[in-house]
Amino acid sequence: MFLLALLTACSTPTTQTSGPATEHRYIPEEDFFRISEYFTGQEPETDRIYVRTDPEVRGGYFWILPITKEMSQRDIGEIHLSVQIPGDPEMKEFTLEPERSASSGATLWIGLTGLDWPGIQFGPVAWNLQILDPEGKVLEERESYLWSVDSPPAATGTQTPANEPS
């Protein structure tokens, strides 16, 4: 349990290759309801562009980032999200497409929802997020600290410990 808590804490910082900060956190479903939905029954279009792994489930773990000038000038084609979920040895990979175009000043909300996320008590161990234009060019890339850390070199068995004579 301690190891899980330690890994989750280490995954919190974000490494950015460009652009402003990325917020990421769990958001419960009820936080998405607006007063207008009680009258219309529809999720309103706002300056938030929601992209969810399960469009039928609104709550989940979200990455929230502002739409940059470059993203607003070019359409977003696909969003690639790779994430290591606590307790799962396999890396999960998702390819998502926004339902509407981005405009400057808007925010992009990318969510792992439904069965794709284990619950409120978890945070991702490591993650990588790429936003691509329709031609496949990377517009933005964000990743967690643990994602950006290079793996240590494999032990070869040829090194002598520092305190032993060679």
- Read off the CATH number of the domain in which 140 is found: 2.60.40
64-86-92 Cα angle (round to 5): 65
Q: How far is CA 87 from CA 12, 34, 56, 61, 72, in A?
A: 17, 34, 25, 16, 37
Token output for 141: 């890339």
Residue with the bigger pLDDT between 71 and 114: it is: 114
The CA distance from 44 to 31, in Å, is 13
Residue 90 lies in a domain: yes
The CA distance from 133 to 70, in Å, is 10
Residue 29, pLDDT above cutoff 80 = yes
Residue 156 lies in a domain: no
pLDDT at 153: 55
Domain span at residue 124 reads: 2-147
Residue 166 lies in a domain: no
Query: How many other CB atoms are there within 10 angstroms of residue 147's CB atom?
Result: 19
Residue 100 lies in a domain: yes
Residue 160 lies in a domain: no
State the pLDDT confidence band at 94, using cuts at 50, 70 and 90.
very high
Residue 96 lies in a domain: yes
Residue 101 lies in a domain: yes
Token output for 52: 């969810």
Residue 39 lies in a domain: yes
Residue 166, pLDDT above cutoff 70 = no
Residue with the bigger pLDDT between 103 and 32: it is: 32
